[in-house]
Structure 1
C-alpha cells in the first residue's frame, strides 16, 4: 500500500514539473486592437492557435464604434462570406504564423470598420504585453499600423 502511495506521489510531482517546464504561448488570449493613425480602439479579439497547422486566428469579442458613429452589430463593410455577419465571434484574423520567437507573418486581417483586408506582419514585445502590427491592403496600396495590447 505504501508503495502505491509513493508511486502515485512521484508520478504526480513529475507531471507537474513537466507542465511547469512547457513554454507558454504569449500570443494566445485576449487583445485590444488600437489603430495607430487615429488612436481609436477598433476591437477586442481572442487569439487561438490551430494545433495541427500551428497558425493563429482571432475572433471579435467586443467591437468599438468610430467616434461620431453608432456601434454596428454586423460587418456591413465586409465583403464576401463576411458581409453582414454578426461582429461578435466573427473571425477577422486567419493564417498568421510564427517565424521566430516574437515575430509573426502572413496573417490575413479584416478591419471590421472599413472592410479592408490586409496581409499583416507583427512584432511581439519581449514582455508579451504588446504587439506592433503592420498591414498592407490586398486590394490597393493602403497600409495600416496597429498596436495590440494584451488584456
Structure 2
C-alpha cells in the first residue's frame, strides 16, 4: 500500500515538473498584448502573439477597439493583397520576428502590417518593464525612418475588452 502511494506521489511530482518546464520555456513575448495609438494614446487592438512552427513569432488581432466617437475599423480596406478588404479580427499583423541572439529580450527581422494605413513595415522590438511592455519599431529601409509603438501586456484579454 505504501509503495503504491509513493509511486503516485512520484508520478505527480514528475508530471508537475514537466508542466513547470513547459511554462518556463515559453517566451515572454508570447501572450496577449494591447496596442495603443502612439499619437492619441487610444487603445487600438488586442493581439495574441505566438511562437510559430518555424520558430518565428507572429501576432493575430483578437479584438479591435472603437475610437472615441467613431466606428471600429473592421476590414483592411487600404491593405495590399492578400489582406485587402479582409476582416481585421483574425488577421496576422505581426510575422517573422526572431530573437536577437546578441541582445536579450530583443526581436528582429519581423514584418508589421499597420491596418489603418495598410502599409507593411520591417520591424524590430524589445521587451521592457520586466516584459510588461513591448517597444515595437516599424520602418521602411532603415530603422531611423520609422515609428515606435509600445504594446502593453494583458493577462486577461476578455476583461480588457469588457472595460470599454
TM-score (norm 2): 0.79
1:13-32 aligned at under 5 Å gives the runs 13-21=13-21, 22-32=24-34
Aligned residues of 1:42 and 1:113 also touching (Cα < 8 A): no
2:140 counterpart of 1:137: yes
Are residue 123 (structure 1) and residue 126 (structure 2) matched? Answer: yes
Structure 2 residues not aligned, in runs of 5+: 155-164
Structure 1 position 57 matched with structure 2 position 63? no
- Structure 1: where are the runs of 5+ without partners? none
Deviating more after overlay: 78-87 vs 128-137: 128-137
Map 1:1-150 to 2 at 5 A. 1-21=1-21, 22-50=24-52, 52-65=53-66, 69-99=70-100, 100-137=103-140, 143-150=146-153
Relative distance call for 1:68 and 1:118 in structure 2 (3 A) is farther
- Give the equivalent residue in structure 1 for 2:161: none
Deviations 1:86-122 (A, max 9, x none): 0111111111111143000111110001101011110
Q: TM-score, length-normalised on structure 1?
A: 0.85
Give the paired residue count. 148
3-state secondary structure, aligned to 1:57: strand
Whether the aligned pair in 2 keeps the contact of 1:98 and 1:105 (CA below 8 Å) is: yes
The CA RMSD over aligned residues, in Å, is 2.2
TM-superposed CA distance for 1:28, in Å, is 1.2
